[in-house]
Amino acid sequence: MMKSLIVLTFLFTIFFFHQSSSSTLPITYSVLNLGAKPDGKTDSTKSFLSAWALACGSAQPATIYVPPGRYLIGRPANFGGLCKTSAITIRIDGTLVAPSNYNVLGNAGNWLLFEGVNGVSIAGGMLDGQGASLWACKASGKTCPDGATTLSFTNSNNILISGLTSINSQLFHIVINGCDNVKLQGVKVPASGNSSNTDGIHVQLSSGVTILNSKISTGDDCVSIGAGNTNLWIENVACGPGHGISIGSTENGVRTKTWGRPSNGFVRGVLFQHAMWCLGAGVFLWFFWLLVSHQLGGWSFF
């Protein structure tokens, strides 16, 4: 009797542990299972939004999986809402592609927008904004739309972007706006030096943003620091071509710049440390460790 009781207790313990462990494992939603086509031609926006709705509505951690292939996100996509879980991972093994016709996004402002989210991670993958034709339009002096930022997080907390590559953005590549506790690491932006107004990473109105171990080549600021930021840390970032790390806007590597007009704004507590740059064929290259704890107000840097 005692032996049977011990065995029963042991089996119950294993069953209970298994059930408890299983309940915390993330649920995975593959965009392929929701109708996405990896051909780069079929609009898969609806499938991605469906995957987000399922992950956001899950009471336990969730993963959205994007298998290898090219997926057309043919219109502005807004991923938002008060999710039940604060642990959503978007694992990308493929490439998300914007429409080749820049008028489709036109003046939408953002292509991929995450708004009001908490605990979202993006791991790996490539975002292709297909912005070359819009750069050419702007360079020609014709009337052109502003274009769209490739990836934007707005009013969001506890965000991780790791191993992501962004190419051919119409406008800014990545924008962090009004966020708290954001980490970007291993980000790559291999953009052309003639890609107009395509800042690599723009940060504004945010606190606790960390940018690590990234390589940014672009036609504008590698990292632009706008108004209202505190506790920004940038470390081991290679920049070039590009205008450097900019508080304001600059073409001189590391610099603080503002407008010549009355303002109550201020910049303080800024430390540039171990910065190295070299000049060759008009290209600047920076490897630096940069600690910024600053506040800016009343300015607009675009």
Paired tokens of 149:
């930022």
Segment holding 53, helix H or strand E: helix 45-57
Query: DSSP label at 41?
Result: E
Cβ-proximal residues to 88 (8 Å cutoff; 6+ apart), any chain: 55, 56, 61, 62, 63, 64, 117, 119, 120, 121
Q: Which of 199, 220, 221, 294 is catalytic?
A: 220
Distance (Å, rounded) from C-alpha 87 to C-alpha 27? 11
**Is 243 one of the annotated active-site residues of the chain?**
yes
**Is 202 one of the annotated active-site residues of the chain?**
no
Q: Is 292 helix (H, G, I), strand (E, B) or coil?
A: strand
DSSP structure string for 170-216 = SS-SEEEES-EEEEEES-EEE--TT-TT--SEEEES-EEEEEEEEEE
Paired tokens of 163:
């191993």
Q: Which of 173, 202, 243, 294 is catalytic?
A: 243
Q: What is the chain's percent helix, strand, coil content, to nearest 5?
A: 15, 45, 40
Positions marked catalytic? 220, 243
